[in-house]
Amino acid sequence: MPYAGGEVTAKRYKQNTLDHDGYKIDGYALQVEVPIIHYSHYKGYQQAKKNVERLTLSREDTAMQLAYDVATAYFQVLLAQQDLEVAQAENLAVTRLLERAQAEFKVGRIIVTDLEEARARVDLSNAQLLALAETRESRQEALVELIGKQVASLADLEQSFPLDKPEQDVAYWIQKALVRNPMFRVLDVAAEAAQLGADKARGGLYPTLSLNASHSVYNNTASATWLGADTNTQVLGVTLSVPLFQGGRPEAQMREALSQKDEAQLKREDLYRKITRQVGDSYRGVLTAIARVNALKQAEKSAQTALKTTQAGFTAGVRTMLDILNAERALRDTQRHLNAARIGYVLNTLALHRAAGELNGELMQRINSWLQKGV
């Protein structure tokens, strides 16, 4: 890089002579140095630009990770809320069944085993409600920790939202991650910056050529030994510097920079394996969630029909209270699994796009369109 500097001089000298008490020197000087051939400076400049690029990419990755964490936390709270609502519906149903069992037992229509089974189901349901309420509160606090404020209510997923399969195959998404995932690019740039750092250190062994220019003006008063005079000097020249021995510093700096390059490349290989696994898991997770949602929707209809049939059979005297309790549990389990599959589709979609470096505003708008309006 070019260098410019200057100085201002004002000096007073004392002399013990017969005709002079002293003399003074006043003046200023300006110097300019412009590198013509300076390998280290050039490589250092390139390295600095790479470091700025790396920091920019790191900020991009941090922002993308924050968006992913907030969205994931939101849907984790939503799933906990859905599980709690299903458990509340089950608790209401088994509580009514217990009341019915108590009435049926009094008239001798059921045995004590059925009554105790109904009571046990209510106790179990009450315990489950407490656990699920705690889970919801914990996940809600985790969401508040991320966004910094309380959320009064959460918009639920629409009952029917598009379950689209990912475009292309897994290899396509892995290749996309290699190009667009910010952390891949951070490590690539870090390796390039380290190589430039090694080149910069190597430049310490090379000769340098610089253009030098200076301008100085001094006013000297007379002394006992010479007459005073003003000087005005301009100098223009070229300086060739040839390093002979620097105590091994450039070599040590080169080794350090190359170690940093190797470290960045090893981290990139580890990240490649991690991202490959994440992309594969998320891609398969999306497909599995689609299949599970479709299957569980049908299973929910079947469980509802089975519960109604069992209740009618109990009234007719061909089914037991335990059969109703089991049918009720089967329906609620199916609903919980269905909710988990629907949320799982969203979470895997988020994870797939996060790994591929495509967690952007367009995706968030698409996911927001899946939520119920007016909340």
| pLDDT given for residue 224 in this prediction | 45
Secondary structure of residue 32 in the 3-state scheme? strand
Cβ-count burial 332-349 (b if 16+ within 10 Å, e if not): bebbbbbbbbbbbbbbbb
Output the CATH code of domain 38-205+250-368. 1.20.1600.10
Angle at 211 (CA atoms; ends 206, 216), nearest 5 degrees: 135
Phi and psi at 75, nearest 5°, equal -75, -25
- Residue 334 token pair: 């199916």
Q: How many Cβ atoms sit within 10 Å of the Cβ of residue 120?
A: 13
- Residue 308 neighbours by CB distance under 10 Å: 12
Within 8 A by CB and 6+ apart from 176, the residues are 356, 357, 358
Evaluate the CA torsion angle 221, 223, 227, 231 in order and state its sign: negative
Closest C-alpha among 202, 167, 241, 151 to residue 47: 202
3-14 and 208-220 as β-strands: parallel, antiparallel, unpaired? unpaired
8 Å CB contact between 86 and 330: no
State how far the Cα of 258 lies from the Cα of 201, in Å rounded to an integer: 10
38, 316 Cβ separation under 8 angstroms: no
Output the CA torsion sign for 295, 297, 299, 302.
negative
pLDDT tens, the chain, 375 aa long: 666 665 666 666 555 554 555 556 677 788 888 887 788 888 888 989 999 999 999 999 999 999 999 999 999 999 999 999 999 999 999 999 999 989 988 988 888 988 999 999 999 999 999 999 999 999 999 999 999 998 878 899 998 889 999 988 999 999 999 889 999 898 888 888 888 888 888 887 778 788 888 888 877 665 544 445 677 888 888 888 877 777 778 888 888 888 888 888 898 889 889 999 999 999 999 999 999 999 999 999 999 999 999 999 988 888 888 899 999 999 999 999 999 999 999 999 999 999 999 988 899 999 999 998 755
Count the Cβ atoms, other than its own, within 10 Å of residue 73. Answer: 19
Helix H or strand E encompassing 105: helix 39-106
Domain 1-37+208-241 has CATH 2.60.40: no
**Is residue 219 classed as helix, strand or coil in its secondary structure?**
strand
**Whole-number pLDDT of residue 79:** 96
The residues near 162 (Cβ < 8 Å, ≥ 6 apart) are 370
CB of 87 closer than 8 Å to CB of 128:
yes
Q: Report the Cα 146 to chain-centroid distance in Å.
A: 13
Integer Cα distance of 353 and 71 in angstroms: 12
Residue 362, Cβ density class (10 Å: 0-12 exposed, 13-18 middle, ≥19 buried): exposed
Q: Which of 80, 74, 30 is nearest to 234 (CA)?
A: 30
Instruction: Say how far apart CA 193 and CA 48 lie, in whole Å.
Output: 8
Q: How far apart are the first and last CA of the chain?
A: 59
Place of tokens 């509340």: 88
Task: Please report, for the chain, the start and end positions of each structural domain, with discontinuous segments joined by +.
Answer: 1-37+208-241, 38-205+250-368
Answer for the pair 54, 186: CB distance below 8 angstroms, yes or no: yes
Quick one: tokens of 354?
């996060």
Contacts of 225 (CB under 8 A, 6+ apart): none
Whole-angstrom distance, CA of residue 279 vs CA of residue 285: 10
Radius of gyration of the chain (CA): 39
Residue of 75, 85, 84, 90 lying closest to 156 (CA atoms): 75
Task: Report the C-alpha gap between 146 and 139 in whole angstroms.
Answer: 11
What's residue 15's pLDDT? 54
